Amino acid sequence: MSAPLASEIHLLLDSAGALIVYQEEGAHWAGVLGFSSEARAREFVAASHLEAAEMGAIDPADPAQVASLIEAVKRRAVRYLLLDLDWRTGECLQVEFEGNAFGAAREHRFNPHQRPR
């Protein structure tokens, strides 16, 4: 893992239990939404009016948990983690997937107010 991440990454799940991902208009790949705290996740849900039914968490230092997350989302054309996406500004940390692990991270800014799927 190239970037220091939080001690837990909180993930949003829809009513069917699927991880919620975000794809910027015109982008080929999507990113799974993750937050460094439960409070940040709840702020995103409130600001975006997203209908997230549940929240789960993984330990980013646990290779098995990270690999399971990446394997689960790669089938959906998801290629990175969007950490702490701010709904109002579009700012977040984009963490690339390298194999079944977290790789390089960079600051990224999306066009705000595009609804996650």
Each domain of the chain, given as residue ranges in start order, spans: 9-109
* Model confidence at 1: pLDDT above 50: no
Which H helix or E strand runs over 105? strand 101-109
Per-residue confidence (pLDDT) for residue 2, from 0 to 100: 42
The tokens describing 88, both together, are: 């109002």
pTM of the model: 0.87
Q: Is there a contact between 92 and 110 (Cβ–Cβ < 8 Å)?
A: yes
Tens-digit pLDDT profile for residues 80-89: 999 999 998 9
Query: What average pLDDT does the segment 33-39 reach?
Result: 95
Tens-digit pLDDT profile for residues 60-116: 999 999 999 999 998 889 999 999 999 989 999 999 999 999 999 999 998 654 555
Q: Is there a contact between 39 and 57 (Cβ–Cβ < 8 Å)?
A: no
